[in-house]
Each structure stands twice: as structure tokens, then as C-alpha cells.
């Protein structure tokens, strides 16, 4: 995943989060994240130092892109919201994740699955190269835009999202 701040190499965990990985790949292959779908590049629209960077659902003017149907929450998969992991963003409904994801820039244990009434957020991948890019993104100056807080003052866009073969 290339951003205007640098490149992130992300490794998906298909074994522990198959539905989430397939959902993410569908958006990548559709050209959703990088604007090849004709509706504009998505941005990291929420960055909070010591916590996470969130993106994958809005264009630079903070316009929500049209999503596929929500997926089931796979948060009870044993994966933890540790620094460098990717998780699905969602509403209060545990099964509402669509295209938005976040990269943990700190260990966020409070986001892990606890029980059915405290389901947490589904980890599905990790950054294997480029965590310095995520660290740079989380340090950008932010502002409030309408109801959206912690918005980068200058857009942080996803300029390319593609599947690359494993190098093992």
C-alpha cells in the first residue's frame, strides 16, 4: 500500500481472519482504496498519536465512499491489537465493518476481544515493512472538520493498493 507519505507492506492472516482478509482484498482488487474505482483515492482521515491511524473509507474532502455489505466480526481469533497490526474499524454494531481499517501505532489491549458483550476489533493483518511510514502519518498536524476530529491538516492519501506475491 503506497501513500503520499511512503509505502506500507502488509501481511494478511488468512488462517485466523479469512472473512476479513477476503473483504480487504476485494476492496484492493476493486481499486477502491487507491481510486481506480473512479470515485477518488481514500485517505487516512483519523490519526491519534499513541493510538492508531484510520483510513480506507473516505476521500480527501471527507466524503464517505460507497461500501460493500458489512462483514462478521472475527475479533475472537486469537490475534491482538498490538503495535503494527491492522484491524477493522466499525460502528457500535460488532458486525458493521466494511472498508475502513486502522493501524495500531501502540499496543491497544483494550481493543481486544474479551467476551460476546465486549467483542473488540478484528485484527487481520500486520505491517511487515514501513512502520516508519505509519509513525510519520500519526505525527501529522490535525484539525477538526465538521463532526470529524483528528483529521490530518494535509490529506494523507492511499495512492496505490495492490496484492504482491509473497517473497518467501
Q: What is the per-residue DSSP string for 53-84? A: EEESSB-TT-PBPP----B-----SS----TT
Cell of 99: 472498508
Q: What's the confidence (pLDDT) of residue 155?
A: 96
At residue 163, the 3 state secondary structure works out as coil
H or E element, residue 28: helix 18-29
**pLDDT < 70 stretches in the chain:** 167-168
Q: What's the confidence (pLDDT) of residue 168?
A: 59
Q: Which residues contact 15 (CB under 8 A, 6 or more apart)?
A: none
Q: What's the confidence (pLDDT) of residue 166?
A: 75
Instruction: Using a cut of 0.95, tell me whether the model's pTM lies above it.
Output: yes
Q: What's the confidence (pLDDT) of residue 165?
A: 81
149-158 per-residue burial string, b: 16 or more CB within 10 A, e: under 16 = ebbbeebbbb
Q: What's the confidence (pLDDT) of residue 110?
A: 98
Please report, for the chain, the start and end positions of each structural domain, with discontinuous segments joined by +.
2-160
Q: Are strands 52-55 and 9-12 parallel, antiparallel or unpaired?
A: unpaired
Cell of 91: 460502528
Instruction: Give CA–CA dist 63/73, Å, rounded.
Output: 25
Q: Note whether 154 and 48 are within 8 A (CB).
A: no
Cα atoms in the 13 Å half-sphere on the side-chain side of 16 = 15
Q: What's the confidence (pLDDT) of residue 167?
A: 65
At residue 165, the 3 state secondary structure works out as coil
CATH class of the region 2-160: mainly beta
Cα atoms in the 13 Å half-sphere on the side-chain side of 55 = 27
Amino acid at each position: 500500500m503506497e501513500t503520499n507519505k511512503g509505502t506500507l507492506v502488509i501481511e494478511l492472516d488468512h488462517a485466523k481472519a479469512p472473512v476479513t482478509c477476503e473483504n480487504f482484498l476485494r476492496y484492493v482488487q476493486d481499486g477502491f482504496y487507491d481510486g481506480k474505482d473512479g470515485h477518488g483515492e481514500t485517505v487516512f482521515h483519523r490519526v491519534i498519536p499513541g493510538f492508531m491511524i484510520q483510513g480506507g473509507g473516505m476521500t480527501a474532502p471527507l466524503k464517505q465512499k460507497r461500501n460493500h455489505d458489512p462483514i462478521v466480526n472475527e475479533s475472537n481469533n486469537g490475534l491482538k491489537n498490538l503495535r503494527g497490526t491492522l484491524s477493522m474499524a466499525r460502528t457500535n454494531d460488532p458486525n458493521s465493518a466494511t472498508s475502513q481499517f486502522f493501524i495500531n501505532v501502540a499496543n491497544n489491549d483494550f481493543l481486544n476481544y474479551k467476551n460476546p458483550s465486549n467483542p473488540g476489533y478484528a485484527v487481520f493483518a500486520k505491517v511487515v515493512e514501513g512502520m516508519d511510514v505509519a509513525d510519520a502519518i500519526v505525527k501529522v498536524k490535525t484539525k477538526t472538520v465538521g463532526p470529524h476530529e483528528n483529521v490530518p491538516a494535509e490529506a494523507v492519501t492511499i495512492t496505490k493498493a495492490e496484492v504482491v506475491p509473497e517473497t518467501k
